[in-house]
Structure 1
Amino acid sequence: MRYPVVLLIGTTLSLSACAVGPEYRAPVTASLGVPDAYTTRQGAALDDTALADWWRSFNDPVLDGLIQQAISNNLDIAQGVARLDQANEALRQAGASYVPSVSASGSGGRNFRQGTSGAILDSNGNVVGNSSGGGSSNQYSGSLRASWEIDLFGRIGRTVEASRADLEASGYSLASVRTSIIAETVRNYISARLAQERLKIAREQLATAQDNLDIARWRVEAGLVSSLDQEQARAQLAQQTAAIPQIETGLANALNRIAVLTGQAPGEATRALETPAPVPTAPTDIATGIPADTLRQRPDVRQAERALAAATARIGVAESALYPQLSISGNVGTSALSLGSLGDIITGSLFGNLAQLIFDGGATASRVRAQEAAARGAFSAYKSTVLVALEDVENALVADRNARQRVTQLLIAYDAASNSAILARSQYQAGLTDFQTLLTAEQSLLSARDGLATARADQVQAVAQLYSALGGGWQTTNAPTPGTQTPNAPNGLPE
């Protein structure tokens, strides 16, 4: 009986490579609608090293420190790490099905029973001694049980393949969270520095408005103008004062958000950032590469591709249920009345079980079709992610171009408004013009200064948006690499 069983095992192992279901191949760029170049700019080849730490191009040590805190302490990233660990354990569990499952049991006890004739019986009714007053005996047993499913049509292999793709997708999900956290930290830092710049402008303009009111009051008291000038100056001062709390609110919101992004409670965590500092300067030339680079650099795109791979592998898992399933089980046991004789007699059995689905009302076939539909949906999600990524890059390129143009024009506007305000003030003090002209010039200067500061910050934000759209910020993480082979044995599993 031993030789047919050995022959059966050898035959089934040779057939275990016959995995059912489609073999996954990553879609080519043509099927995803990826163009050859961006419409807005023809960029040079991407520098992966510069892209990985793109925020360092702003040359702001404070920002660099905040990014490192966010990477180390952000709780969304911590959740992503936990999900990655879960996926890794799921892969280990799937791979464990390659090897037999073995369990052991043992028991020991004391049996006693008094028969009517004085015979001592064990728990099974067997005579183990004689005594008119009763008797007892020891009994010990031990056994090993093993079961093993032969992966005849690749159910286990496809499950491992799907779990490995899930693990890789979780790694890219973590990378995507990291890029988002970095980008959000940069955005809020720029917003905070812009708010500080706007506060500086507003307070300087507030001092000018106070001077205007003093001049208007003096001229009214001297009888040179009517009280209309004084009331207009009061209105200007009040409006300028009212604008400051709104800017301070924006600053507080940005600082509080930075604290949370770095895994800390708002308040003391960002106290050092309350000291005003200028908005970082954006680099002027950014290599964007070609759209095909987006598929390589964007972690969300790679995550979607791995999700498609997992969905494709699960078609094979579902389809394997339509084919025979072979399992082998056996046990070895021994029992004795004393520990010394345990093992004198050993019994065992070995069984092979072949099961084939005959009829289930079409439920299994329906599950195969459902998984095929899931794979089609995963492909659509993958293509959508690719197109959204390309959209993000195009939008960021437009924002960067237009922000630079706005800065150029607002520099001209600021220069003109500054000259106009100086002339209007000197003419009003000399009595050569009315207060309304001075008021209009001062408001134009405030608008030009504030607009220029905002445009410069928008330019930096556009650069940050572009780097994020290109997929920068995760390349130094240990995300799993797609395309690894599905293991054929337990030693192919990751450590």
Structure 2
Amino acid sequence: MKRSRFASIAVMALPLAACTVGPDYKPASPGALGVPDHYSVPADGATRGDFRQWWTQFDDPLLTRLVEQARSSNLDIAQAVARLRQAHEALIQSRAQLFPSVDASAGYSRSFNVAGGTSTVTLPDGTVTSISQSRNSFSVSGDVSYQVGLFGEIRRTVEASKAQYQGAGYDYASVLTSTESEVARNYILARLYQVQLANARASLAIEDDNLQIAGWRVQAGLVSSLDQESARAARAQTAASIPSLEQSYNQAVSRLGVLTGQAPGALKQAMAKVEPIPQGPADIAVGIPADTLRQRPDVMSAERGLAAATAEIGVAKAALYPALNITGNIATSSNVFDDLFKVITGSVFGGISQAIFNGGRLNAQVRSNEAAAQGAFALYKSTVLTALEDVENAIVALDSAREREKQYAIALDAANNSAILSREQYRAGLTDFTTLNTAESSLISARNGFTQAKADEATALVQLYLALGGGWDSSAVLVAPVTPPVIPTATSPSEDR
């Protein structure tokens, strides 16, 4: 009978629980977010390419290996995975509120007299003895508690937790893509510094030769010592650039080590061999701006943040309405264990609570959550527009680098020819050292400019891949790993001893 009463109350609560207050979330349209139909800069509007493993398009095995190693060992990514697992556990906790909470307990006690309170008993053989009175007690009980979300506060809480969990997955993807691009950028920088170092050392060898020739001409009385001093100054300036380039190279390689979860110097041997700056494909299909909404993990994370903030409005509004809590209890007790379940008692209680006066706190919480949702929408729209800005800037940067590379190739060819002619004429005494020095400086500048343009082209291509949301599978559902990573624990001082 008690069981039927409890069931009746629960059934009566179900229709009430079907009422959910607060706004239902609906994704904003591209027009509401200010997304245009096409980019404002020349771009390939064809179907967007597959950029999930864009680093392989540079056709550099070491770069591919480093990016893959960073994906599995980078510590920023490990932190993002931990946050994703936390969000998953928070979702499980929220969903648990949809079900009753059941607790059980069992107990045993024995009471006896410590002093006094004894009785005398005459045994069959006529002996009289005293017996201390004692008593056993056994008990078993179970409690059930169920918070009925009459106005959808529990469902809204679950809705918010689910959106936050999904957002944590997209945050993880953002860290993943950012790490991939940072590895590629530092790898490109390391190769740039290698080429610049080779250029500087080659120029230094030429300037050593020029200094020697100037010295011979001074000894022969053909020129004044001004030529020799000018040659010495030019050589020193080139030599001074080498330590700076070596420092920059070391920083880039050290950064690669840390990005791949290793010590800063772990990759120095692997990077020691001088290789050219990696160059990607000539054409890349960027698609249309609306693709950014589906491909950028930071945009999708911001959208989930808006969904969570919208659900929180319903949670706050539900607090203005009555709350129903149903509790039940079943128990039995006995002095004899065999009689424990002969008599079982139970109870059921349904209680409704309603806030009467709270100084406007609950209404203020509703307004606060509404303001938070408005801010979340502004952040979402800002993230979308920033994503489109990133794409357009990367397209322009790529086109600019390619044009500069083309012009520097012409300048390098002309400067090289001019330097060769000037060097031959100076050896023959047909020109002065100032002309030779100017030609050599132009050659160094053209070499560095051409090399920098190639590196800028590769970097802009990496930035374009990142801006387009490459580096992760947007069609896959991002879930927390079932098996958490092994985290080493520090040894305490006592354990050391």
TM-score normalised per structure 1: 0.92
- For 2:487, the equivalent position in structure 1 comes to none
- What is residue 373 of structure 1 aligned with on the other side? 371
C-alpha contact 1:168 1:303 (8 A) present in aligned 2: yes
Contact in 2 for aligned 1:150/1:327 (Cα 8 Å): yes
Distance 2:476 2:158 in 1: 21
Structure 1 residue 114: deviation in Å? Answer: 7.2
Task: Work out the CA distance in 1 between the residues paired with 2:241 and 2:6.
Answer: 88
1:262 aligns with 2:260: yes
Distance 1:476 1:466, change over 3 A: same
Distance in 2, matches of 1:74 and 1:478, equals 21
- Name 2:95's counterpart in structure 1: 95
Taking the aligned partners of 1:107 and 1:29, their CA distance within structure 2 comes to 63
SS at structure 2 position matched to 1:272: coil
Residues 241-289 of structure 1 deviation map (CA, whole Å, 9 limit, x = unaligned): 1110011111000000000100111113332112111100121111111
SS of residue in 1 equivalent to 2:21: coil
User: Structure 1, residues 93-148: CA drift from partner, whole Å, max 9, x if none?
Assistant: 0000111101111111211137977579xxxxxxxxxx954221211111111101
2:174 to 173, 176, 179: 176
Letter of the 2:371 partner, please give it: A
Could you say which residue in structure 1 is the equivalent of 2:126? none
Any conservation in 2 of the 1:281–1:460 contact (CA below 8 Å)?
Answer: yes
Q: CA deviation at 1:159?
A: 0.4
Shift of 1:340: 1.7
Cα deviation for residue 315 of structure 1 reads 0.5
Q: What is the CA deviation profile of residues 12-33 of structure 1, one whole-angstrom value per residue up to 9, with x for unaligned ones? A: 1133221111000011111111
Q: Deviations along 1:326-363, whole A, 9 cap, x unmatched?
A: 11101111111122221111111111111122221211
2:323 — aligned with what?
325
CA contact (8 A) 2:107 2:139 kept: yes
The 8 Å contact of residues 59 and 280 in structure 1, kept in 2 or not, is answered as yes
* Match in the other structure for 1:309: 307
8 A contact 1:167–1:480 mirrored in 2:
no
Is the CA contact (8 Å cut-off) linking 1:74 and 1:261 kept in structure 2?
Answer: yes
What is the rounded CA distance, in whole Å, between the counterparts of 2:78 and 2:465 in structure 1? 23
SS in 1 for 2:330: strand
The question of whether the paired residues in 2 share the 8 Å contact of 1:114 and 1:135 is answered with no
Task: Tell me the distance in 2 between the aligned counterparts of 1:347 and 1:115.
Answer: 35
Aligned to 2:267, the other structure's residue is in SS state helix
Aligned letter for 2:36?
Answer: P
Q: Which secondary structure state, in structure 2, belongs to the residue aligned with residue 51 of structure 1?
A: coil
- For residues 478 and 141 of structure 2, the distance between their equivalents in structure 1, rounded to whole angstroms, comes to 42
Pairing 1:357–2:355 present: yes
**SS of corresponding position for 1:472:** coil
Which residue number corresponds to residue 406 of structure 1? 404
Contact 2:294 2:474 in 1 (8 A): no
Q: Could you say what secondary structure the match of 1:30 adopts?
A: coil
Structure 1 pair 151–205 and aligned structure 2 pair: CA distance change class (3 A): same
Q: Which residue of 2 aligns with 1:65?
A: 65
C-alpha contact 1:258 1:270 (8 A) present in aligned 2: no
Conserved 8 A contact 2:140-2:331: yes
Q: Say if 2:38 and 2:45, in contact at 8 Å, map to a contact too.
A: no
* 2: CA distance, partners of 1:72 / 1:5: 53
- Secondary structure of 1:214's counterpart equals helix
Counterparts of residues 332-351 of structure 1 (less than 5 Å): 332-351=330-349
| 2:218 and 2:224 in contact (8 A); partners too | yes
Matched AA of 1:464: V
1:268 aligned counterpart, secondary structure: coil
Give the match for residue 485 of structure 1. Answer: none
CA 1:392 to 1:114, structure 2 compared with 1: closer, same or farther past 3 Å? Answer: closer
Aligned residue number for residue 23 of structure 2? 22
TM-fit CA distance, 1:45: 3.2
C-alpha contact (below 8 Å) 2:197/2:245 kept by paired residues: yes
Structure 1 residue 219, shift from structure 2 partner:
1.1
Query: Could you say if the C-alpha distance between residues 261 and 177 of structure 1 is closer, same or farther in structure 2, counting changes exceeding 3 Å?
Result: same
The amino acid of 2:284's aligned partner reads I
Q: 2:155 — aligned with what?
A: 157
The Cα shift of 1:391 comes to 0.9
Structure 2 equivalent of residue 493 of structure 1:
none
CA distance in 2, matches of 1:354, 1:267: 66
More divergent stretch after superposition (76-85 vs 400-409): 400-409
Query: What pairs up with 1:406-445 in 2 under 5 angstroms?
Result: 406-445=404-443
Q: How many residues align?
A: 470
Query: What letter matches 2:108 in structure 1?
Result: G
Deviation at 1:476, TM superposition (A): 6.7
Q: Are the equivalent residues in 1 in contact too, given 2:110–2:134 (CA < 8 A)?
A: yes
Deviates more, 1:50-59 or 1:436-445: 50-59
Question: Cα distance, 1:6 vs. partner?
Answer: 3.3
Could you tell me how far 1:226 is from its partner in structure 2?
1.1
Paired residue type of 1:322: L
1:105 aligned partner: 105
Tell me the SS of whatever aligns to 2:108: strand
Aligned-residue offset at 1:85: 0.1
Q: Which residue of 2 aligns with 1:56?
A: 56
Q: Assess, with a 3 A threshold, how the Cα gap between structure 1 residues 111 and 432 changes in structure 2: closer, same or farther.
A: same
Shift of 1:475: 1.5
Alpha-carbon distance in 1 for matches of 2:277, 2:134: 91
CA distance in 2, matches of 1:27, 1:37: 19
* Alpha-carbon separation, structure 1, partners of 2:159 and 2:76: 28
The one-letter amino acid of 1:72's match is S
**Counterparts of 1:27 and 1:302, CA distance in 2:** 12
For the 8 Å contact 1:142–1:334, the answer to whether it is kept is: yes
